[in-house]
Structure formats: structure tokens, C-alpha cells
Structure 1
Amino acid sequence: MRTWKVDDVMTQAVVSVPETASYRSLVDLLVSRRFSAVPVVDESQRVTGVVSEADLLRKIEYSGAEEPRLFEGRRRRGERAKARAATAAELMSRPPIVAPVGMPLATAARLMDAEQVKRLPVVDDRGRLVGIVTRGDLLKAHLRPDDEIHRDVTDGVLMPLLGEAADEVTVTVTGGVVTLTGRVALWTMADTAVRLTRQVAGVVTVADSLEFDFDDRYMVAPVPVYGVA
């Protein structure tokens, strides 16, 4: 079964900025292009950080603020430092949260959620910028035509799992909803077919109407008896 990766949906024509980019140029870029963040790269195109709207807003947030307190926390000190920053290198958040080439879409979605970011720079094995993937890009998988999803389910799930018995299963796809009907030999086969179908890119949900000849979920492996000739 083919697993969709960030490479399949990312934008390759990425806008990035050098570490020397000025504060004013960063504001102009994000406002004019309606970006919420932009990756920062070094001379070798390796991603060294990301500058977001939040990073740029520190200058406004701390404008005219009182001097830092003696026991001010590390996070607050870092925010004050960004308020005085003038270049991307000083403003950017680091280390950058990136997606390596080949990362599955599900993994990228979990990473975005865990890190509370809206986009991920995609990097090669040397850390060089090759693309960018957004939350909206991850949703592109659900725009796949039903016939493509049908082909992936039959050729990528049922044939490898069931072999010739795959002909006993009927697959219908409507608006990304997959219905599996028919009969297989074992409960574990039916269960595995449904679970793998859910993982096919673009599948919204699976309607399980599969029947089986034998319920093998409660089978207990024989306990070995030692010392018996």
C-alpha cells in the first residue's frame, strides 16, 4: 500500500530569507505575501530557523516596556531580546521544526499539532530546504478522485492481503467513503482489511460490511509443556 508523504503535497517553489534579512524586509514580505511565517536559510540553503508573525510582534509588544526584572523567566527574556532584534538571525525561532523528505502525512499532521505550527519546511538529508507543507496541503489527500482511492484499496490493500480471495470482496467509493462487502475466511482478515483501508490517502471513513467464515480472534496459542519426551 502506498503511503502519501509530504513530498506529494508540498509546495516546491518556497520563499525563504537569508539570516541577514532586516526586520523591515521581513514585515514587508509577510504582509505583502500574506504569510504567517517564513523559513530562514544559510548560504548552503540549510534551514536554520523560522521567523513568524509572533516573532515580529515582539517589537510592538515590548515597545516602551519597563526594564526587565531581576528574576524574569527565560522565555520572557527571549521575547525581550527579539523586541530589540534587527535581523532574521536574531528574530528567528530555533531550532526549526522541519519535516524530512519522505515523512508520512499522518506524522506531519501529528508534528504540526504537537508543536502548534501551521507549516513545516521540508528538508533533504543535509537539512537543505526543498519545499514547504501547510495544514491545507495535508488536506489535499482528501481531494483525490474516488476511482484513485478505489484502485489503491483493491490493488494496495485487498490483493496483497487476500490474494485470489480479493475477488470475493466488493469495494465501492463515494465521496471518499469506502464500503467493503463480501466474505473472507477469517475475522482477522476482515479486521486487517478495514484497518488498512482507513490508512489509504483520501479515505474519509470505512463502512464495514464484511463477513467471515471463522472467528479467530479468541484463538489461544498452545502452551508449551517442558520436560515431556
Structure 2
Amino acid sequence: MEHRTIGELMTRKVVSVQLDTPFKDIARVLADHAVSAVPVLDALGRPAGIVSEADLLRKAADRSDLSGRTPVPHLEAWERARAEGRTAGELMSAPAVCAHPEWTVVEAARLMEVQNVKRLPVVDEADVLLGIVSRSDLLRVFLRKDQAIEDEISHEVIGRTARLGAAGVTAEVVRGQVTLHGSVDDPLLIPVLMRMCAGVDGVVAVSEELRPAVAAGSARPAGRSAAHA
């Protein structure tokens, strides 16, 4: 199976700023391009960090407010230092957490989750910026048509495992949810098939209604959803 790569999903025309870009210029770039964050590049075009609306708002939140209607947020020393920053290099979140164009959606999604970030600059072997990928970009794989998913499962999953005893299996896909029907020679093949189907781009969940081929005349309770994207 071939997963869509980050290079296929990323945005190539990336809005960015430099390390010495002033605060107000950053705010203007975000507003003019309707984005919530931009990479901060060094002199060689390599992402040094990310500066976001949250980084800029930290400065506003740290200012005194005579009304007293809202509590003053507690800022750690490093947060206060960044709130006092004047340039992108002083305000940014660093280091930049980056991806590479050959990565799969799974790899990028896992990195976003572990690092708790919403976007990843995409860099080449020299760490030069190529593009940027966001959470919404990764979700585009779930826009795949059911027929495309069903065709891939039929050819790549069932086709590959036919000799192992999956020749009697068919797949039905509705709104990204896969149901496997038919019979298998070996019941131990069932969890293997389900895991393989769950790995297909665009699959939301997998359930099975399979039975052992040797017991085709006896009904087996239908399996429930056990594999999710």
C-alpha cells in the first residue's frame, strides 16, 4: 500500500518571516495572509522556529489593566522574556519541529501529537524550508472517495493475502467505514486483515463479518469495529 506523502499534502507557497522581523510587521503578515502562524527563517532559509498569534498575544496579556476585570495571567520566566520580545527571533517558539516530504500522514500526525503542535515546516536534507503542513492538510486523506478506498483494499489488502486464505473476502466501504464480508481459511488471518485495512489512507474504522471457510454452514456472530484510523 502506498500512503500519501507529506510532500503531496503540504502547502508549497509558504509565508514566512526572518529572525529580525519586528513585532508589528509579523502582525501585519499574519493579518494580510489570513494565517495564524508563520515559520521564522534564518539567513540560510532554515526554520529556526514558529511565531504565532499566541506568541504575539502574550505581549498584550502581560500588560497592566487598570479595569481589574480579568486576572493577570501567571507567566513563567521564559514566557515573560518572550512577552517582552520585539522581533520574531525573540518571540518565536523554538526550535522548529519539522517534517520531511517523504513522510507519511501517520508519521506527521504522530509527531504533531507528541510535540503538541498544529503545523510542521517541511524541510529538505539540508533543513531548508520546502513547505508547511497543517492538521487540516493531514485530514484531507479522509476526503478520499469510498470507491477509491474499496478498490485499494480489494487489490492491495485482499489481493496480497488471497494466497493466505483471504480469497473469499470482500470489502464494503461507506463513509470511510470498512466492513469485511465472506470467509477465511484461517481465523488468525482476521486481525491481520483488519490492521491492514485500518492502515489504508481515508479509512475511519474497520469491522468484520467473517467466518471460517470450513464452517461456512454455521453462523458466527458478526465482529464489531476493532480498528480505527
User: Which TM bucket (shorter chain)?
Assistant: 0.7 to 0.9
TM-score (normalizing by structure 2) = 0.81
Deviation at 1:185, TM superposition (A): 1.2
Distance 1:7 1:136 in 2: 15
Deviation at 1:165, TM superposition (A): 5.2
* Letter in structure 2 aligned against 1:206: V
* Letter in structure 2 aligned against 1:55: D
Deviation at 1:141, TM superposition (A): 0.8
1:159 matches 2:125: no
Q: For each residue in 1:126-170, what CA deviation from the matched residue of structure 2 results, as whole angstroms up to 9, or x when unmatched?
A: 211111111111111111011211121122211122248554211
Long gaps (5+) in structure 2: 66-74, 216-229
**Where do residues 2-151 of structure 1 align in structure 2 (5 Å cutoff)?**
2-64=2-64, 76-151=76-151
| 1:224 alignment partner in structure 2 | none
User: Percent identity of the aligned residues?
Assistant: 39
The 1:8–1:214 alpha-carbon spacing in structure 2 relative to 1, beyond 3 Å, is: farther
Deviation at 1:111, TM superposition (A): 2.2
* Letter in structure 2 aligned against 1:204: V
| 2:218 alignment partner in structure 1 | none
Local SS of the residue matching 2:20: coil
TM-score (normalizing by structure 1) = 0.81
Distance 2:8 2:27 in 1: 30
Deviation at 1:63, TM superposition (A): 2.7
Q: For each residue in 1:23-67, what CA deviation from the matched residue of structure 2 results, as whole angstroms up to 9, or x when unmatched?
A: 1110111123232211011222211111011211232122359xx
More displaced stretch, 116-125 vs 139-148 = 116-125
* Letter in structure 1 aligned against 2:6: V
More displaced stretch, 77-86 vs 18-27 = 77-86
Distance 2:30 2:100 in 1: 24
| 2:71 alignment partner in structure 1 | none
Deviation at 1:198, TM superposition (A): 1.0
| 2:181 alignment partner in structure 1 | 181
| 1:211 alignment partner in structure 2 | 211
- Alpha-carbon RMSD across the aligned residues, in angstroms, is 2.2
Distance 1:214 1:88 in 2: 67
Deviation at 1:101, TM superposition (A): 2.3
Local SS of the residue matching 1:170: strand
Long gaps (5+) in structure 1: 66-74, 216-229
The 1:132–1:214 alpha-carbon spacing in structure 2 relative to 1, beyond 3 Å, is: farther
* Letter in structure 1 aligned against 2:8: D
Distance 1:44 1:61 in 2: 33
| 2:190 alignment partner in structure 1 | 190
Conserved in 1, the CA contact under 8 Å of 2:165 and 2:186?
Answer: no
* Larger of the two Rg values belongs to structure: 1
Distance 1:197 1:122 in 2: 28
* Letter in structure 1 aligned against 2:120: L
